[in-house]
Structure 1
Amino acid sequence: MGGQYRITGDKYPRMRPPRRRGRLVLVVTGSVVVIGVLSWGTLQLVDVFTGGGDSASAAGTKAGCATKASPSPSAAAAVALPKPGAVTVNVLNATTRSGLAKKTADELKKRGFRIGEVGNAPKQWDKKVKGTGLLIGPTSALNTALPVLATQLPGAERSADRARKGVAVDLIIGNGFKELAKKPAADRALATLTAPQSASTDTKKSC
């Protein structure tokens, strides 16, 4: 350039800030980030060792609570089933074969059941039961006396009579009846039915 704007000498004016200032900014920023990360990590370690009140520590607290076992409804029901001596059975014959009611009643008596009425089935059931038999009782017997009696005649149907009074149950012999279950098999079924089911327990935790 010439004229009055002519530049002389060997030094020229700088058009940008010195690079050292940029480097200083980067160093400061990096230091702040490192300090922040270290602080965050320290807080996390404190929370881990002191509990911190978070969900993880709450879960740990619950895990240390006492555990109580309570029997499940099925186990309780199994224990509450009556013994054969507490079940009164009316044995009624709905077939054309004579003598079945008495013969069946005698065998049930040998097996420990109490025997009530023995005879022919009422008209509503006479010659109308096609299966091996029909077990009828009050509603309260549906899950108590009837399952116990059913161990002696597994193929029999069960029915609850809501209008029935008392605790006696009926065994109505059907056309498909041949004989009661063999005593060893019936005893095993009864033992399985009435045995306490310790494995079927519910556990509850309390603090």
Structure 2
Amino acid sequence: MGGQYRIRGNKYPRMRRPRRRGRLVVMAVASVAVLGMMGWGTLQLIDVFTGNGRKASAVGPKSDCSTGATPSATAKVPLPKPGGITVNVFNATTRSGLAKQTADELKKRGFKIGDVGNATEKFDKKVKGTGLLLGPASSENTSLPVLATQLASAEHRTDAARKNTSVDLILGNAFKALTKKADADKALAALSNPKPTPSTSKQSC
């Protein structure tokens, strides 16, 4: 062809449609926005059902977020006073008069005194430590801890077959004297009014 319709040079009209880049960008942004909204909604649902640690359980004990302490679920068993505990004092050593001397001191400190004398063959000269505290099973968390304040290093034992409520103090070979009264009084006061122990588990507040 020639004349005025001749194509000259290296430029010619493009016959294909231009790329729609703008539409692709819009669609990508919209997809990201939708995914973001879905993720946010999921987090909100999780927060509603779990409470995100901000609400206390309806059935569990309330915790103190400032200290992390959780109150005990069991009721505290009241400890008996020394005057409500009958103590039998037995001497398992070779030193004479030790049982009576110790019994007299315990009486001054408010305890009731039962039997006083030498230990039975089962324990005679067989208690190596300072002493042995022996009582019925019911005394494990009541009478025995109270009596133990008077001889802190003594061993504790319970006898399930024992019927009476009295407790025995069997003096051993290493016994020299009861715990000093001032220290025993402090130990007894701490036992009667224990301080709450903070929980080591982390609390979310």
Give 1:71's aligned residue.
Answer: 71
Give 1:144's aligned residue.
Answer: 142
Partner secondary structure for residue 34 of structure 1: helix
Give 1:135's aligned residue.
Answer: 133
| Mapping of residues 3-82 of structure 1, within 5 Å | 8-9=1-2, 10-11=6-7, 18=15, 21-24=17-20, 26-41=21-36, 47=41, 52=44, 54-60=45-51, 63-65=54-56, 68=62, 71-72=71-72, 76-77=75-76, 80-82=78-80
Give 1:116's aligned residue.
Answer: 114
Residues 100 and 58 (structure 1), Cα distance of their counterparts in 2 relative to 1, 3 Å cut: same
Contact 1:71 1:200 in 2 (8 A): no
Give 1:95's aligned residue.
Answer: 93
Give 2:195's aligned residue.
Answer: 197
Separation in structure 1 between the aligned mates of residue 24 and residue 147 of structure 2, nearest angstrom: 86
**TM-score, normalization: structure 1?**
0.75
Cα RMSD for the two superposed structures: 3.2
Per-residue deviation at 1:44? 5.8
Per-residue deviation at 1:137? 0.8
Q: Gaps spanning 5+ residues in structure 1: where?
A: 1-7, 203-207
Q: Gaps spanning 5+ residues in structure 2: where?
A: 64-69, 201-205
Per-residue deviation at 1:150? 1.0
Residues 58 and 104 (structure 1), Cα distance of their counterparts in 2 relative to 1, 3 Å cut: same
**Bigger-Rg structure (1/2):** 1
Separation in structure 2 between the aligned mates of residue 201 and residue 114 of structure 1, nearest angstrom: 38
Separation in structure 1 between the aligned mates of residue 149 and residue 92 of structure 2, nearest angstrom: 20
Per-residue deviation at 1:158? 1.2
Higher RCO structure (Cα 8 Å, ≥6 apart): 1
Contact 1:72 1:200 in 2 (8 A): no
1:159 aligns with 2:154: no
| Letter matched to residue 28 of structure 1 | R
Contact 2:140 2:158 in 1 (8 A): yes
Q: Going by fraction, where is strand more abundant, 1 or 2?
A: 1
Partner secondary structure for residue 124 of structure 1: coil
Residues 197 and 105 (structure 1), Cα distance of their counterparts in 2 relative to 1, 3 Å cut: same
Partner secondary structure for residue 122 of structure 2: coil
Q: Going by fraction, where is helix more abundant, 1 or 2?
A: 1
Per-residue deviation at 1:200? 5.0
Residues 17 and 93 (structure 1), Cα distance of their counterparts in 2 relative to 1, 3 Å cut: same
Q: How many residues align?
A: 186
Give runs of ≥4 in structure 1 deviating > 6 Å.
none
Give 2:67's aligned residue.
Answer: none
Give 2:173's aligned residue.
Answer: 175
Residues 121 and 63 (structure 1), Cα distance of their counterparts in 2 relative to 1, 3 Å cut: same
Per-residue deviation at 1:59? 3.6
Q: Percent identity?
A: 51
Separation in structure 1 between the aligned mates of residue 160 and residue 13 of structure 2, nearest angstrom: 102
**TM-score, normalization: structure 2?**
0.75
